[in-house]
Every structure is written in structure tokens, then in C-alpha cells.
Structure 1
Amino acid sequence: MLEFKQVTKRYNDEKAAVKGLNLKIDKGEFVCFIGPSGCGKTTTMKMVNRLIDSSEGSILVNGKDIKKQDPVELRRSIGYVIQQIGLMPHMTIKENIVLVGTLLKWSEDRKDKRAKELIKLVNMSEDYLEKYPHELSGGQQQRIGVLRALAADPPLILMDEPFGALDPITRDSLQEEFKKLQKELHKTIVFVTHDMDEALKLADKVVIMRDGEIVQADSPEEILRNPANEFVEQFLGKDRLIQGRPDVTTVGQIMLRSPAKIDVGDTMRAAIAKMRERRVDSLLVVDSENVLKGYIDVEIINLNSKSNASVYEVMESNISPVFEDSLLRDTVHKILRRSAMYVPVVDKSHRVVGIVTRASLADIVYDTIWGDGLELEKPVQQ
């Protein structure tokens, strides 16, 4: 899909910003470039759509040398998302989304249909299509920036620190949303970031660069388990030791299988009794089919004086679960970013099957640093 062959970039005969880079990116692969400032990651990405031309070597997209293609046509065939978003303030959201379609002289019907198709992908209603950028939040604007890159259905998308300017919670949410979108649409993504957690969470392959050269290009799991050298080890940081455990990779290996739950139709009085019985300060709220609906905790109960009120009336429904086969490193990221005490675990039908707590993660950290290499014990049920 995308291949770099001995690619070098020099500015005014000075020291090379990128040196003899060789890399092959397969169709549908999500690749993150990361490294210290000035390592050449952004220069590498911008050479793909010829915003910067290489000095030596060749870059092939679907086997074709990009230097033999018209740069304008090339850019229109490649999606591009930047941190600053770059929405046109005088255009509606619909006009922003189908901007490339306008340049390609699409009919109004085709643009209208495409805009409506895309807006649904990010869980936004069609009402937003007639709004203007200033009427949207930063997270919503960034979603539109992603949709604009998808509008012409390009097989390849370049993303230059697209979530860097967002607050941690919005950023975390968009990362999850975009990773899910990428799996559904099977696009090839070249993603530049300075955030190692983001790279490990999103990428199929992480490319670590230093002084214009690739130091290591591997899957997140392989980099965590077998860093190429001391520079990679230092760049990863000791706090990611837990993520490098070869024997513990998924949520299902450490989750507690009997989380404290309450039925959505029960009263707050029943919830209080259940908390006392289980000696916990929070309960997962489920329906008769054990489908996760939200949670209730002592803080919510303290704010509501009616003990005969139903759990459904007072529960907090804004809760973000993970799946049993979710990677543990993603769950650690979610807990730390959101300062959460736990994360519910659900199956594909959204039924509760367990819970991951900070305490269970602490056990893994302890075993990683101080353990004697014994096999991980089965978690004690809550």
C-alpha cells in the first residue's frame, strides 16, 4: 500500500532531516510515528502527500511513485487531518465535510448523501450539517475534521497529531471512536504523535524515530517486551512495565468475575442495603438481561434524599466499559486518564461479565517489579 525506499530529505544541503528511510506499510494497517522533537516524523508524513518533496529515494502508493503524479490530484486522493482542524468558518458543517467532493465537482445530491452517511459514523445527528464550526465544541470540530478526510473515501489517511489540542477525556473518547472507525472502514492510517500512550493504544505498528532514522518499527506488544535499545527503553519509561508483561495482555486475565450489581428497577433503599452487604461504595446498574445501564455510588445517594426513588431515576448512565478481550494496556490508559476506580467489563451484547479495579492493576504492578516469576494467580472474586 505505502512504501518508503531509501527516502532522504535535506534542507539547503544541511544535515538530513530524514536519512535513508525504508519502511513498508500494508493495506489497512494503522502506523504511528513517534519520537523526540526534530526526529523527522512529521517531515516523513508530509512527504507522502508531497507537502514536502523528498531529496532522494522514492515513495510508492499502491506501487506508483508519487513523484510521477500530479501533486494536487495526489493530495485529493489522500485524506489529511491536522491538529488545528482547519475547518472553513464561513462554510456549514456539510460544506466542510464534502469540500473535496466540491473540488471534484460532485453533484449536490451526491454531496448531500455522503455528508449524511458520514455524520452518522461519529454519532452526530444530521441537524449538525447546517451548523457552522463556531457552534460546535472542540471535540465535535475534530470529528468533522476526520469526516472531511474520509469524504472522498481515500484508502490512505495522514493524521498529524489530530487529538493533541483536546482535553484528556475528550481525547480519550475520540481515540477509541477513531480506532473503532478504522477497524470498520479498513483504512490505511499514518499517524504522527508525541504521546507514547496514544501510539501504543491506537497503532498496529509503532515506528520510533531518532535523528531522522527509524530506531524500531514493531507492534506495540513487541516494543514493550523487546525494546531495541536503551533509547527505546528510556522513551517508553518504567511506568509502562505493566504493559510489557508477556503473560498478562487482556482484561479477561485479571478481571474480577462477580462485581457488585443492582437491578435498574430497584430502589435506592435496596442499593444502600446491597452496598452494605458487599462492603462497596458503588454498584453497577443492570437490567433483567444483565445489560449494563450505568452505576450508582454513595455520592449519588447522598445527593438524593428519597430512599424510595428508583435506581433508574438517579443512576449515572455515562459509563464506559471494556470487553473481556480488550488489551490490558488500553484499560490501564482508560483508568488513569479518567481517574476512575474501576472499569466494567462486558460481552458483545453489553452484558456485565466482570470488573477491573485499580487494586487488581496494583497487584500486577507489584508482581512485575517484585514478583518471583510465579504464574499469576486467579483473581479473588469480589
Structure 2
Amino acid sequence: MLTFQDVSKIYDGGKKAVANMTLEVEKGEFIVFIGPSGCGKTTTMKMINRLIEPSNGTISIEEENILDKDPVQLRREIGYVIQQIGLFPHMTIQENISLVPKLLKWPVEKRRKRAEELLGLVNMDSEYLDRFPHELSGGQQQRIGVLRALAADPPLILMDEPFGALDPITRDSLQEEFKKLQQSLGKTIVFVTHDMDEALKLADRIVIMRDGEIVQVGAPDEILRQPANEFVEQFIGKDRLIQAQPNIQTVEQIMNPEPITITLEQTLSEAIQVMKNKRVDTLLVVNEEQKLQGFIDIEIIDQSHKKNTLVKEVVDKNLYKVEKGTLLRDSIHRILRKGIKNIPVVDKNQTLLGIVTRANLADIVYYTIWGEIEPNQSAG
């Protein structure tokens, strides 16, 4: 799909921003470039759509040298998403999304229909089409920036730190949303970031750069387990030790398969009794079919017991959950760095399967260092 062959970028004075890069990107692959500031990752990306012209070597898309194409036409055939989003404030959301299709002279009806289809991909309905960017939240605006890059259905999309300016919660949610979108659409993505957690979460392969050169290329797990040198080890960070444990990769391998639950129809008095008996301060709420509905904790009960009597009247549906098969490293990040107490694990039908807790992770740390316990025997 995308090939670099001995590509360099040399500025006046002989400084090499990128040096003799050779790399092949497969169709449908999510490639993330990462490295310290000034390593050449953004320069590499901008050479793909000729915002920066390569000094030497060949960059090919579908075996065609990009230098043989008109640069304006080339850019219209490649999606591009940047951190600053770059929506035009005087244009409606439909006009912003349809910018490239308009340049390609798509009919008006076709452009509107395409914009409506794309909004549906990110759970935004057609009422947003006639709004203006200032009427949207930061996360919604960034979604529109991504949809604009998809509008003309390009096979290749470039993304330059697109989520860097967002708050952590919105950023996490957009990362997950976009990864699912990429997998469903089969687009080839070249993504630049300085955030290793983001790279590990999104990438099929990570390209680590330093001083204009590729230091290591590999799948996230491969890089975690077999860093090429001391620079890569330091760049990854010591705190990711447990992510590199080769025998433990997904949440179901360490979850407690018997989470403490309460049903919607039970009373708050019963919930308090369960908490006392099990010595916990939070219960997961399920329906009769064991589908996860939310949670209640002692604080919710304390604030509402005088005016409510049933669990279904006070259940908090706003909780983070993951599906079976989710990589453990993503849950580790949530629990250890964002202060989440635990993460329910569900199947595709939202049936509750188990829960990952801080105690589970403590067992993993012990197992990684000493190797003397089975991690799935945690009491949770």
C-alpha cells in the first residue's frame, strides 16, 4: 500500500531530518510513528502527501511514485487529520465534512448523503449537519475532523497527534471509537504521536524513531517484550513491565469470574446487606439475564435511600467496561493511571463475565516478578 525506499529529507546546511528510511506499510494496517521531539516523525508523515518534499529516495502509494502525481490531486486522495482540527467556523458541519467531495465535484445530494452516513458511524445523527463548529464540544469537533478525512473514501489517512489537545476522558473514548472505526472500514492509517500509551493502544505496528532514523519496528507486544536497545527500553518506560508479561494478554485471563452483583429489582436495604456480608463498597447491577446495567456504591445509597427504595431507581449507568478479549494493557492504564477501582468484563451481548480489580493487578505484578502464583487465582 505505502512504501518508503531509502527516503531522506535534508535541509539547508546538510541537517538530515529523515535519513535513509525504508519501510513497507500493508493495506489496512494501523502504523504509529513515535519518538522524542525532533526525531523526524512528523516530517516523515508530511512527505507522504508532499507538504514536505523528500530530498532523496522514493515514496510509493499502490506502487505509484508520489512525485509522479500532481500534489494537489495527491492530497485530495489522502485523508489528513491534525491536532488543531481545522474546521472552518463559517461552514456548517455538512460543508466541513463535504469539503473534499465538493472539490471533486460530487453532486450536492450525494455530498449530503455521504455526510449523514459518516455521522452515523460516530453515533451523531443528521441534526448536526446544519450546525456550526462552535455549537459542538471539543470531542465532537474532533470527530468531524476525522469524518472529513473519510469523506471521499480515501484508502490512506494521515493523522498528526489528532487527540493531543483533548481532555483525557474524551481522548480515551475517541481512541477506542476510532480504532473500531478503522478496523470496520479497513483503512490504512499512518498516525503520529508522542504518547507511548496511545501508540500501544492503537497500533498494529509501532515505528520508533530517533534522530531521523528508525530504531525499531514491531507489533506493540513485540516491542514491549523485545526492545531493540536501551533507548527503546527507556522510551517505553519501566512502569510497563507487567504489560510485557508474555503469558497474560487479555482481561479474561486475570478477571475474577464471580463479581459481586445485585439485581435491578432488589432493594437498597438488600444492597447494603450484600455490601456488609461481602465487605465491599460497590456492587455491579445486572438484570434477570445477567446483562450489566451499571453500578451502585455506598455513596449513591447514602445520598438516595431517604427517597428511593429500589436499586433500579438509583443505578449509575455511567461506568467503564470492556469486552472479553480486550488487551490487558489497556485496562492496566485505566486502573493504575486514572484511578478507576475496577473494570467489569462483558461479552458482545453485554452479559457480565467477570471483573478486573486492583487486587488482580497486584497478583500480576507478583507473578511477573516471582512467578510463584497463578494470576487467575486472585480473590479479587
With the shorter chain as reference, the TM-score category is over 0.9
Q: Which residue of 2 aligns with 1:376?
A: 374
Distance 2:72 2:326 in 1: 40
Amino acid in structure 1 at the alignment position of 2:146: V
Judge conservation of contact 2:34–2:196 (CA < 8 Å) in 1. yes
Distance 1:156 1:309 in 2: 55
Following superposition, the deviation at residue 307 of structure 1 comes to 6.9
Alignment pair present for 1:78 and 2:78: yes
Following superposition, the deviation at residue 53 of structure 1 comes to 0.6
Q: Which residue of 2 aligns with 1:118?
A: 118
Deviations along 1:187-242, whole A, 9 cap, x unmatched?
10000000000000100000000000000000000000000000000101100001
Judge conservation of contact 2:256–2:376 (CA < 8 Å) in 1. no
Q: Which residue of 1 aligns with 2:168?
A: 168
Judge conservation of contact 1:267–1:307 (CA < 8 Å) in 2. no
Judge conservation of contact 1:268–1:307 (CA < 8 Å) in 2. no
Q: Which residue of 1 aligns with 2:148?
A: 148
Distance 1:374 1:304 in 2: 45
Distance 1:13 1:104 in 2: 40
Judge conservation of contact 1:45–1:158 (CA < 8 Å) in 2. yes
Q: Which residue of 2 aligns with 1:185?
A: 185
Following superposition, the deviation at residue 334 of structure 1 comes to 2.4
Distance 1:226 1:375 in 2: 24
Deviations along 1:349-376, whole A, 9 cap, x unmatched?
110000000111122123323x1x3463
Distance 1:375 1:268 in 2: 38
Question: Which 5+ residue runs of structure 1 have no aligned equivalent?
Answer: none
Determine helix, strand or coil for the equivalent of 2:355. Answer: strand
Residue pairs, 1:273-284, within 5 angstroms: 273-284=273-284
Alignment pair present for 1:38 and 2:38: yes
- Residues 286 and 321 (structure 1 numbering): CA distance in 2 closer, same or farther, change over 3 Å? same
Distance 1:336 1:154 in 2: 38
Alignment pair present for 1:195 and 2:195: yes
Q: Which residue of 2 aligns with 1:324?
A: 324
Question: Which 5+ residue runs of structure 2 have no aligned equivalent?
Answer: none
Q: Which residue of 2 aligns with 1:89?
A: 89
Residue pairs, 1:96-115, within 5 angstroms: 96-115=96-115
Alignment pair present for 1:29 and 2:26: no
Following superposition, the deviation at residue 380 of structure 1 comes to 3.6
Q: Which residue of 2 aligns with 1:135?
A: 135
| Percent identity over paired residues | 63
Deviations along 1:147-203, whole A, 9 cap, x unmatched?
000111111000000000011111011101101111111110000000000000100
Deviations along 1:16-64, whole A, 9 cap, x unmatched?
1000000000011001000000000000000000000100000010110
Q: More deviation in 93-102 or 217-226?
A: 93-102
Following superposition, the deviation at residue 381 of structure 1 comes to 4.8
Amino acid in structure 2 at the alignment position of 1:346: V
Following superposition, the deviation at residue 136 of structure 1 comes to 0.7
Aligned residues: CA RMSD: 1.2
Q: Which residue of 2 aligns with 1:263?
A: 263
Amino acid in structure 2 at the alignment position of 1:162: P
Equivalent pairs counted in the alignment come to 380
Distance 1:9 1:99 in 2: 31
Determine helix, strand or coil for the equivalent of 1:294. Answer: strand
Distance 2:222 2:194 in 1: 19
Distance 1:257 1:162 in 2: 37
Distance 2:14 2:309 in 1: 72
Judge conservation of contact 1:269–1:308 (CA < 8 Å) in 2. no
Following superposition, the deviation at residue 320 of structure 1 comes to 2.0
Following superposition, the deviation at residue 318 of structure 1 comes to 1.0
Q: Which TM-score applies when normalising by structure 1?
A: 0.97
Distance 1:160 1:332 in 2: 26
Amino acid in structure 1 at the alignment position of 2:155: P
Following superposition, the deviation at residue 259 of structure 1 comes to 0.3
Q: Which residue of 2 aligns with 1:221?
A: 221
Q: Which TM-score applies when normalising by structure 2?
A: 0.98
- Residues 66 and 375 (structure 1 numbering): CA distance in 2 closer, same or farther, change over 3 Å? farther
Determine helix, strand or coil for the equivalent of 1:165. Answer: coil
Following superposition, the deviation at residue 335 of structure 1 comes to 2.3
Distance 2:312 2:124 in 1: 25
Alignment pair present for 1:5 and 2:5: yes
